[in-house]
Amino acid sequence: MDRRLQLFLLLSVSSAAAVPLSKAASGQRNRLLLISFDGFRWDYDQDVDTPHLDQLGKDGVRAKYITPPMLTMTSPSHFTTVSGRWVEDHEVVHNMMFDAKTNLKVPHRQTLTRSEWWDNGVLPLWITAQNQGLKTGSFYFPGGAANYSGQAVNRVVVEETRPANETEWKQNIDTVLSWFSEEDFHLVTLYFGEPDRVGHAKGPDHPDRKSMIRQIDRTIGYLREAIDRQHLSDSLNVILTSDHGMTTVKKRPQVEEIVLNKYLNLIQLASFEILDYGGFGILTPRPGREQDVFDALSKAPNLTVYKKNEFPENFHLAKSERLPSIVVVADLGFNLNSRLIVYVNKGDHGFHNGEMDMKTIFWALGPDFKKNFLSEPFDSIHIYPLMCKVLQIEPAPHNGSLSVTEKLLLHGGSQRNGVSVGLLLTLLCSLSRL
């Protein structure tokens, strides 16, 4: 082969590979901040003035909406986002740790630090990134406070019981940005408990929900100023997403609410249950009574009862060993009450992920993302391979697909360098044989 051609091809190969390799080698790998605002329904910005979120869409990418996994609950959905695994695989099947055999139920907040609930052999992004030499942190993020195969996230701040106010939100942003700018962190996940709280307490149509969206919008404005102030805009990618939507709870006199004990004697027929928790419920029938429970609940209006092994495939729940044998999903807006109707929540979630009210948000901004790009909807499970791509790490086995989300990236994402290097090497080898 012509020496000049050989030299040219070699130079082409090294220049094609130069960008990501040299960045990684010199510690200039782009970083990633993953932000979740809990319970941010996909359309919450459409009836409120949100200049900063609008600007985010112009300077970066936005999806029309994204679909969370079944179950549309906080811990299951967040863990799918950070692992790229369906709920049946990661087994974080509820916000509350439970054991149907011993009747154990651990409240949500305490469950956040119970590794035995979170660690079921699936490694979340923090740990996979750390195992490849990256430095990671979690600020309030669900799952961040657990250990996985004995490994903890490099730095963890666990959410306090008292909800943070707007001033503290800004302080939290300053804190995580300083981890990037002063301590060379590569990945930080940051969680906010709103607008979920206000959505539950007041309902998604209440003026207080709208003012919370304005507060979130101001916070995004603050985030962008702070990124500039800390000189991170050229190296920091930001993904802004959420775990599920919210819908108005239907109440009398508009509807007859669901009370499951009207259709079956819960004490007699079930040995374990988690009901009274939004639109999703679980039951363990007493031995030999599964069909009785199924038949009785099948007669109840406004809900669907599933035997675990007969779940629709797109629920991705059937393989779960933790879920008891009967799962109930209420029609949109109908809460699953066991014996009494407790009038606490005006809004709720946990309903079918095909319902538009359960859809949620996705924005992204930074050096690796396109500008002013509106994406078609996608499933939240595909965020994981996108994050791995942005961080230039090898993903753990997952159920997502980069081909769904790489179109959000500049240069078409992953294939650019990998394929061109591979093709050039093949070409070089075949030419050498000539």
Task: Just list the catalytic residues.
Answer: 74
243 lies in the site for Zn ion, by CB under 5 A: yes
Nearer to Zn ion, 344 or 419 (CB): 344
The rounded distance, in Å, linking the Cα atoms of 181 and 226 is 11
In the complex, minimum distance from the CB of residue 36 to Zn ion, in angstroms, rounded to a whole number: 8
In the complex, minimum distance from the CB of residue 146 to Zn ion, in angstroms, rounded to a whole number: 17
74 lies in the site for Zn ion, by CB under 5 A: yes
In the complex, minimum distance from the CB of residue 294 to Zn ion, in angstroms, rounded to a whole number: 29
The count of C-alpha atoms lying within 13 angstroms of the C-alpha of 176, restricted to the half-sphere facing its C-beta, is 29
Other C-beta atoms lying within 10 Å of the C-beta of residue 166: 14
Q: Which stretch binds Zn ion (CB under 5 A): 113-121, 185-193, 241-249, 302-310?
A: 241-249
Nearer to Zn ion, 74 or 247 (CB): 74
Other C-beta atoms lying within 10 Å of the C-beta of residue 94: 25
Nearer to Zn ion, 41 or 186 (CB): 41
Judged by CB under 5 A, the number of residues near Zn ion is 5
Other C-beta atoms lying within 10 Å of the C-beta of residue 171: 11
Nearer to Zn ion, 39 or 366 (CB): 39
Among 13, 16, 34, 38, binds Zn ion (CB under 5 A): 38
Q: Which stretch binds Zn ion (CB under 5 A): 51-59, 79-87, 100-108, 193-201?
A: 193-201
- The alpha carbons of the chain give a radius of gyration, in whole angstroms, of 24
Nearer to Zn ion, 23 or 202 (CB): 202
In the complex, minimum distance from the CB of residue 243 to Zn ion, in angstroms, rounded to a whole number: 4
Q: Which stretch binds Zn ion (CB under 5 A): 28-36, 70-78, 312-320, 412-420?
A: 70-78
In the complex, minimum distance from the CB of residue 103 to Zn ion, in angstroms, rounded to a whole number: 25
- Residue number of the CB atom closest to Zn ion: 74
273 lies in the site for Zn ion, by CB under 5 A: no
Q: Which stretch binds Zn ion (CB under 5 A): 96-104, 206-214, 239-247, 420-428?
A: 239-247
Q: Which stretch binds Zn ion (CB under 5 A): 98-106, 173-181, 236-244, 274-282?
A: 236-244
Q: Are 200 and 246 in contact (CB under 8 A)?
A: yes
Q: Are 320 and 308 in contact (CB under 8 A)?
A: yes
Nearer to Zn ion, 273 or 348 (CB): 348
In the complex, minimum distance from the CB of residue 287 to Zn ion, in angstroms, rounded to a whole number: 35
The rounded distance, in Å, linking the Cα atoms of 400 and 387 is 11
Residues in contact with Zn ion by CB under 5 A are 38-39, 74, 196, 243
